[in-house]
Amino acid sequence: MLTTGFNLWPIARNCRTSGCALLLMGVSRYNGNGRLIIGARSLHNGPGGWYPDDEQIVVKRRTSSKAWLKAHRDDPYVQRAQREGYRSRACYKLLELQVKDRLIRPGMTLVDLGSAPGGWSQVAAGLLKHRGRVVASDILPMDSLPDVTFIQGDFTEQTVLDQIVDALEGQPVDVLLSDMAPNMSGLTAVDQPRAMYLVELALDMARRVLAPGGAFVTKVFQGEGLDTFLGDVRHSFGKVLTRKPGASRPRSREVYLVARDFQGR
């Protein structure tokens, strides 16, 4: 289904076709070169309802949007997520990082920034095996998950930050996760500064709440400002690795930083 508008959750909720895909179109424009720039979010109908996909898109007119929808439906990670009951294909990025880096163990306290639709929180809670705590936050709504406390709002606002801290109940954070990304315009000169701003906010949050020796995992985009940010991260962590999970689309500039052994601000 392809449609335009903003408040389309009722339409999505009423569509019951398994595996059906919905593309929410926001404000769009032509940039003069035949490219239609769309602020868009895709949704797939998985177990428990509709869930947004984890990437924004730029498409070329209607034919390309249809091609993107087909590619999305045929994506093996999308299909696997639907079969295995995960909320998004992004789950497999964290699962791969877990295999490589052994980040999460039962008994830990975690914060998940940019958590909607809940894929990373779902994985993290499963790895904790009912022993530990996950506090998730996003400006978008997120359906509830067992063993996850969700706080909707902008964590850079003091009232929301206070709610996150209160939900931790005095527990230092062992791992801070951030899969945040801005709404992409398709213009690197615009998108890259926005993305860097978000990861800088996530790093500031990590420095505030992480326990000594804690870990910080964040999505970043290759481009201007990343090298400077990497240097900043290395000032606070003993070990910093760059990962490109298999579930991350090859054409995407996204990579993940895994920073361990928090040394303090």
Q: Encode the chain in three state secondary structure.
A: CEEECCCCHHHHHHCCCCCCEEEEEEEEEECCCCCEEEEEEEEEEECCEEEECCCCCCECHHHHHHHHHHHHHHCHHHHHHHHHCCCCCCHHHHHHHHHHHCCCCCCCEEEEECCCCCHHHHHHHHHHCCCCEEEEEECCCCCCCCCEEEEECCCCCHHHHHHHHHHHCCCCEEEEEECCCCCCCCCHHHHHHHHHHHHHHHHHHHHHHEEEEEEEEEEEECCCCHHHHHHHHHHHEEEEEEECCCCCCCCCCEEEEEEEEECCC
Among 52, 84, 116, where does a domain finish?
84
Residues 225 and 255 grouped into a single domain: yes
pLDDT of residue 190 exceeding 90: yes
Residue 47 has pLDDT above 60, yes or no: no
* Number of compact structural domains in the chain: 2
Average pLDDT, integer, range 240-256: 94
Q: What is the mean pLDDT of residues 236-261?
A: 95
**Does 223 or 15 have the greater pLDDT score?**
223
Share of the chain above pLDDT 70, in %: 75
pLDDT reported for residue 14: 38
Looking at the fold, whether 112 and 153 belong to one and the same domain comes out as yes
pLDDT, residue 184, reads 86
138 pLDDT above the threshold of 80: yes
Q: Looking at residue 214, which CATH number applies to its domain? A: 3.40.50.150
- Domain containing 78: what range? 2-84
Region 63-70: mean pLDDT is 72
pLDDT(9) > 50: no
Terminal alpha carbon distance of the chain: 48
Do 115 and 207 lie in a common domain?
yes
**Which has the higher per-residue pLDDT, 186 or 168?**
168
* pLDDT number for residue 264: 82
Instruction: Return the active site residues.
Output: 219
- Together in a domain, 233 and 252: yes
Per-residue pLDDT at 68: 67
More confident residue, 161 or 70: 161
Q: Which residue has the higher pLDDT, 185 or 114?
A: 114
Q: Which has the minimum average pLDDT: 115-124, 178-187, 205-214?
A: 178-187
Same domain, 74 and 95: no
Question: For the segment 88-134, what is each residue's pLDDT rounded down to a tens digit?
Answer: 999 999 999 999 999 999 999 999 999 999 999 999 999 999 999 99
Residues 6 and 121 in one domain: no
Question: Residue 62's pLDDT band (boundaries 50, 70, 90)?
Answer: low
pLDDT band at 86 (very low <50, low <70, confident <90, very high): very high
Q: What is the mean pLDDT of residues 71-85?
A: 87
Answer yes or no: do 246 and 220 share one domain: yes
Q: Do 237 and 133 sit in the same domain of this protein? A: yes
Among 66, 84, 102, the domain boundary falls at 84
Last residue of a domain, one of 84, 118, 143: 84
- What's this model's pTM, rounded to 2 decimal places? 0.75
pLDDT higher than 90, residue 212: yes
- Looking at the structure, tell me whether residues 80 and 95 fall in a common domain: no
Does residue 29 register a pLDDT over 70? Answer: no
